[in-house]
Amino acid sequence: MLTKLNNDLNIDYPRAVLFDTDNTLYEYAPANNAAIEAVYLKANNLLGLKRNTFFNLYNKARLQIKKDLNKTASSHSRLLYFQRMIELLGYNAKLLLALDFEQTFWRTFLSNAPLFPNVYKFLNLLKESDIPIGVITDLTAQIQLRKLTYFGLEDTFDAIVTSEEVGADKPDPKNFTLMLSKLKLSSMTNIWMIGDNPTSDILGSKKLGATTFQKIHRGIKIGEGEKSPDVIFSSYKDLETFTRVIISN
């Protein structure tokens, strides 16, 4: 399914196409659920933590870190979550355990995060058409670059911006202006932004003049009002078909 919601907008040949990563190139929830379950099993084995105790402590630690660090890349750090969780258990410093939990989390996460069908084909269409491609993503650079490399996309993108570089998560406009600088573009006009989040991806780029595409799948709500995307789509195959028509005109 692909639906144009803004019928007043002419969608022209894109000067560049920008992507979010999480929940845009792959589905986030199954990977995250599998990863935290793997850490729980390890915590149960090493520390004897029961399920309710583990998840209560993990959620408490996560909320504390997010509150302390606000909308920054490090506010998403699983290492910080696990370090704080261990501290909440009464341990001052179990450094190897925190690192072990983090490695277990991301190793399991990646093995449960296949790309959406037809992502490769759509990216190849853009590359074959000499359309610049960028990634604008929250979280720290190390894990986001690791994800893209794991997906086999290390040579695909012309520029990557993480919120760690910028010092603030999307929708902070510095994420988008840094991408423009990297691609040597002066404005977001006729630039497509593809993402799942109505605030971070849609509102953030729309305010700067981008044409916005929201990836829809289970658990994703379509943005409304000022967060309303220009186009919604559920399948990269449909997006590829749509794009081929525009490129050929």
Q: Is 238 a catalytic residue?
A: no
Q: Residue 139 is encoded by which pair of tokens? A: 């979280």
Catalytic choice (8, 12, 20, 68)? 20
What is the three-state SS of the chain?
Answer: CEEECCCCCCCCCCCEEEECCECCCECHHHHHHHHHHHHHHHHHHHHCCCHHHHHHHHHHHHHHHHHHHCCCHHHHCHHHHHHHHHHHCCCCCCHHHHHHHHHHHHHHHHHCCCECCCHHHHHHHHHHCCCCEEEEECCCHHHHHHHHHHCCCCCCCCEEEEHHHHCCCCCCHHHHHHHHHHHCCCCCCCEEEEECCHHHHHHHHHCCCCEEEEECCCCCCCCCHHHCCCEEECCHHHHHHHHHHHHHC
Place of tokens 């969608």: 11
Catalytic choice (22, 169, 196, 230)? 22
Q: Is 20 a catalytic residue?
A: yes
Give the residue from 178, 203, 176 showing the smallest Cα distance to 191.
Answer: 176
Give the residue from 211, 206, 144 showing the smallest Cα distance to 173.
Answer: 206
Task: Judge contact between 18 and 158, C-beta under 8 A.
Answer: no
Query: Which residues are known catalytic residues?
Result: 20, 22
